[in-house]
Every structure is written in structure tokens, then in C-alpha cells.
Amino acid sequence: MCVIFFYANSQPGADGYKLILASNRDEFFDRNTQTAAKWPNAEHVYGGIDLQPGREGGTWLAVGCEDGVFKVGALLNLTGEPKPPKAVAHKNILQPHTNSQNGCNSNQNKHRQTNNEHFLLGRGMIVADYVRQSNPEHNILNYNKSLLSDCTKYSAFNFVSIEIGDSSQPAQIKLLSNVPPTLAPFEQDMCYGFGNSLPDVPFEKVRYGQQQFEQLVQEHGHADVQTLSGELLQLLKNKHKHWPDAELKRRAPSWGEGLSALNVHIEEHAYGSRTHSLILVDAQNKLHFIEETMETLDPSGPWRCTHIEKQF
């Protein structure tokens, strides 16, 4: 489970932002992950990296910039959809890390690798492939068209892609879902929110979050990074449960209430919002990637704070 809220505009005012993005990653607390950083073999890309055996090199959220064009990709699963048969684990793309880096138990990893043998293709590679390539074949339109033609080999997902170039062209925004295969464009200069359901039936927490996000952008969309990021993180940490929720109950009858807050914590399953991420790009093409992520398996324990700044 994840949520993402964003605003994109290639023509902001001098004190505005080309991109304001806030996202929660909901995952099992023990999933092996590298925190946000510059990618070792794609130095124009920033984001976290999945280290789960059989899924190494994928990511849930990343941003890249080459030749003055920012590309952002985000992956959200579609909760409660059946998995297609006959698929295998995707060969990892990046391969820059070893499992020992995060101190995971080798026997546990061996067991997980065995379980991954007949998994579907790793969806995190969808984001990794998109953001690290800058050739025309991988621009937002061509990449999504190619993915749409071959998207049923993955478990159910929403793929959010954003491309922001110079001010002569509007920011391009697309949402690709594979159950059923659908590619939808969205206009710049508006606030959007997506979660783990189809966009025409959003969860109640996504409705609420989008309304709050839009208000934040209106009130703080020209504020300094510290002020804006503080307001966005407060939204991502909201623990109010938006329950009952008919669509969430239909998709996740056992976990629905626990998943109904923006900031999820299901203690009995050691699952929840383990990472809060912000991506801000100002009018002068300065990137801020801000991440707060759990350092232990206890969300009440210490969190690691990362703030990457890069002038493009």
C-alpha cells in the first residue's frame, strides 16, 4: 500500500516549484531496502532501491534529470487483484548492492529467494527503467505505450510518470494501470492523489489527502523548502483512519481498517508507512529529495532523515 500526491507545472513563478510531490511507502518493516541516494551506475537518478532477493534494483519512487528534463516515476500496487499465472522473477537491472549491506540474515534471504522463484516480474523495474534512460525511446509517451502493450506480465499496479522539460512545453503526466490495461493523461497545474485502487474509485484516505494537499499547495506553494516540506511531512504522518471505506473493504477485507489512514501501522503484521518521501523541484531546477525512513523494525524508534540537494 502506498499513496502519492503531486503538483507539476513547467511554468511556475520565480518563487514557485515545478514539482511538489509527497508520498508514503507502505511495506513490511523487514523488507531489505537502501535509503534514498544517488544511484551508483545512473548518477543522474536519485531514489531508494529495493534489495529484496529477486527484486534487487527496483524502486517504488525515483527522479532523474538529464539534458534539462526531469523524469519522475512512482509505483503503487493495486490491492486485492488476482495474480496472473506463469511468470518468473525479473533479472535485476542495477545490481550495485549486496544483501550483507543492511545486515540481513543470509538463511532468511536464501529462503526468500526460493520463494521468489515463480514470482511475477518485479514491478519496481518499471520505475527504474523509466527514470534512468533519457533517449527518445524512453520518453514518457513512448515508454508508457511500450509498457501498456506488455503490462499483463506484472502483478496489478498503478504507474505514475511525470516529465518536466523547459517552459515551452507543459509538464506531461500519465497514469498507467494494468487491470485493466489503461493509459490516462493528466493536465499540469493541478493537484493529484493516487493510491492502491483505480483512479475512478479512490480510497477515502486518498480523497482526504488530495484535498489537504491542494490546500497546502495553495497556501505554501511559494514558501521556502523548510516550510513547505514541514507541512507535507505532517500530512504524510496523519494517522486518522478514514473508515468505513467501501472500496478499501472490498479490496482488503481483513486489513482494510488498518490501511485506512495515510500513515499506516499494523503492528501485528509489522507493516506500515516505513518511508515518507518528498520531491521538490524549484523554478531554477534545484532538486530537493527529502526522505524519512525507519532505522529499525519499530516505527516508534529512530528514523533516518535524508535531504539531497542538487542543482541541475
- pLDDT by residue (tens digit) across 56-111? 889 999 999 999 999 999 999 999 987 654 444 444 333 333 333 333 333 434 33
pLDDT higher than 60, residue 151: yes
Q: Tens digits of per-residue pLDDT, 283-297?
A: 999 999 999 999 999
Among candidate residues 126, 224, 226, 106, the one with its CA nearest the CA of residue 178: 126
Residue with cell 537518478: 45
Q: Supply the range of the domain harboring residue 255.
A: 2-311
Mean pLDDT of 245-253: 97
In this predicted structure, the answer to whether residue 282 has a pLDDT above a threshold of 60 is yes
The total domain count for the chain is 1
Q: Which residue has the cell 493510491?
A: 195
Place 258 in a pLDDT band, splitting at 50, 70 and 90: very high
| Other CB atoms within 10 Å distance of the CB of residue 29 | 15
Stretch 38-65: mean pLDDT: 94
Instruction: Give the domain CATH number at 222.
Output: 3.60.60.10
Helix 204-220 and helix 225-236, axial crossing angle in degrees, nearest 10: 170
Residue (of 73, 75, 77) closest to 62 by Cα position: 73
Q: So what's the pLDDT on residue 192?
A: 98
Task: Kindly state the percentage of the chain with pLDDT values over 90.
Answer: 82
Q: Which residue has the higher pLDDT, 270 or 90?
A: 270
| Mean of per-residue pLDDT scores for the chain | 89
CA distance linking residue 132 with residue 142, whole number of Å = 15
Residue 233 above 80 pLDDT? Answer: yes
Q: How far apart are CA 274 and CA 297, in angstroms?
A: 9
Task: Return the pLDDT at 116.
Answer: 41
- CA angle 248-254-256, nearest 5°? 30
**Residue 119 pLDDT greater than 70, yes or no:** no
pLDDT classification of 122: cutoffs 50, 70, 90: confident
Query: What is the pLDDT, as a whole number, of residue 120?
Result: 61
Confidence (pLDDT) at 106: 36
Residues pairing with 156 in the sheet: none
pLDDT at 41: 87
For a pLDDT cut of 70, what percent of the chain falls above it?
88
Q: Is the pLDDT of residue 194 over 60?
A: yes
Is pLDDT at 118 greater than 80 in this prediction?
A: no
> How much is the average pLDDT of 148-172?
95
Average pLDDT over residues 231-247: 98
Alpha-carbon span 222 to 20, nearest angstrom: 11
Instruction: Give the residue-averaged pLDDT of 210-234.
Output: 98
Say yes or no to pLDDT of 117 above 80.
no
The Cβ of residue 276 has, within 10 Å, a number of other Cβ atoms equal to: 23
pLDDT of residue 84: 54
Determine the average pLDDT of the residues in 201-219. 98
* Lowest-pLDDT range of 53-57, 227-231, 275-279: 53-57
